[in-house]
Chains A and B, each alone.
Chain A
Amino acid sequence: MNRNNLLAALLIALILGLWEFFVHILAVPVFILPPPSSIFTTAVIQAPRILPHAVITLTEILMGIGLALCTAVPLAIIMFAKPALEKAFAPFLVASQAIPVFALAPLLVVWLGYGIASKVFMAWVIIFFPICISLLEGLKSCDPEFKILFRLMGASFFKKLMLLYWPWALPRFFAGLKVGVTVATIGAVIGEWVGAQQGLGFLMIQSNARLQVDLVFAAILWLTAMGLSMWWIVGILEKRIIKWN
């Protein structure tokens, strides 16, 4: 464990320790704020109950990521190839971020139903923007001298994209993807809060109504672990693919 990791671990331990200490000293009821020990215990003991919900939420997130990749990557490339289209699409892209996702969620449930589709769509709305914009900025950041070199070689746009622009943009693309996968949980959970029959968001709402606050926190812990795992996996992929950095 390096120095930075050690500091982070110590900080987390300190926060959890203080939390545990004050909850016990102040005798805070479990249904208001359970201590971390109780949350961890619930997260483990209740795992058989939480797991099916987590699988559903994870499926929604992964489908959202897949959908975002399938749409954001081609759109970023099209906007890069045709700057006029970038100008045309830019207001819509910005607007997609300006509209609060919470405001969209009830409508999406009405339009797409209580099933998985509305949650996948919510996750997609959130992930799409960071991937699309970071990839576009990455493509645009290519050194003009390389563009001259490739033009002198008589390279087609497709060849330039494959050999030059895409590898050039990869570090920024991965930066966007990392942001995307970590915020994807927000989209899926909001979708589940508004209307769902399963998923971690649904479990949280149900447990909250029954004052099972430790289970609410356990679900949040699982969500956090899922987000961190996806961030970690993308980081590993990034290191494997971008070997030259």
Chain B
Amino acid sequence: MLQVSSVTKYFNDQKIFSGFNLKVDQGQFHVIIGPSGCGKTTLFDALTGVIELDEGTLSWKQKLVFNLTHHAAYMQQKDMLLPWFSLLDNALLPSKTGGQNMVNAKKQALKLFNRLGLSEYESHMPNQVSGGMRQRCALVRTLMFNRDLILLDEPLSALDTITRRSLQSLLLLLQTEFKKTILMITHDIEEALLLADEIYLLSPQPMTISRHFILDQPKPRKFNDPVLLKIKADVLDKLEGDLIHEP
């Protein structure tokens, strides 16, 4: 279980968040939605160790940790593929840097390439494939971290709508097939409704959880589920309300 307890972060006396709490149970898919600039990325920066928290604690699997550097895999909005490596070599980066057995790692990566619809593209260079394929490769690389916790920072927001929809089903595989614990930031409410077990709706700075939705509908879900449509309307209402009241 990932537990974020009473964390606080200031930037030059400006309170980004204070006493912020979050809990993601093992194997759960939790999603954070909030207005731009509310502090979501600062929270992820703190989780990944880019910045230090001023107060509060983080724990992963009941152990206190300074940050999640050695515990989480991370996938960002940009595919972050190195242009000088083939798709396969990009996917193998976590294994290369971690000093793993490369024969086994290659077998695992090829299996994932096959599973995520990238077979026969292993030796292609990133500039030879589409944005969707690059992001699939980034997803394989994320899985090659071989870590139980995955942080997703708007991983599909740079893609067109059609490609995004096809990749959302692959994100779901992270939970259903690969049994990962996932915390994702997104701006796409429908994406959150399709994937999340719990949605945290955040307020503008100082960032707090303004609404918390628990979604127990079975997955894969459909957009036209009346319960989901009701939650979507609630989320939009709340976001619009926050924007109106924003100073």
Contacts and interface: CB of A to CB of B under 8 A. Distances in A.
B82 interface: yes
A146 B145 CA distance: 15
Nearest to A147: B50
Contact of A148 (B50, B85, B98): B50
A156 interface: yes
Contact of B74 (A152, A163, A164, A243): A152
Interface string A140-163: 000001101111111110011001
A155 B96 CA distance: 9
A244 interface: yes
Contact of B97 (A145, A159, A243, A244): A159
A152 B84 contact: no
A47 B41 CA distance: 68
A106 interface: no
A146 B80 contact: yes
B98 A153 contact: yes
Interface string A234-245: 000000001111
A167 interface: yes
Nearest to A160: B97
A154 B70 contact: yes
B223 to A, nearest CB: 32
B127 A244 contact: yes
A152 B98 contact: no
Given A163-B93, A163-B96, A152 B69 contact: yes
Interface of A: 145-146, 148-156, 159-160, 163-164, 167, 242-245
Given A153-B93, A160-B97, 20 more contacts: A145-B76, A145-B78, A145-B80, A146-B80, A146-B82, A148-B50, A149-B80, A151-B49, A152-B48, A152-B72, A153-B97, A154-B69, A156-B97, A159-B96, A163-B82, A163-B93, A163-B97, A164-B82, A167-B84, A242-B84
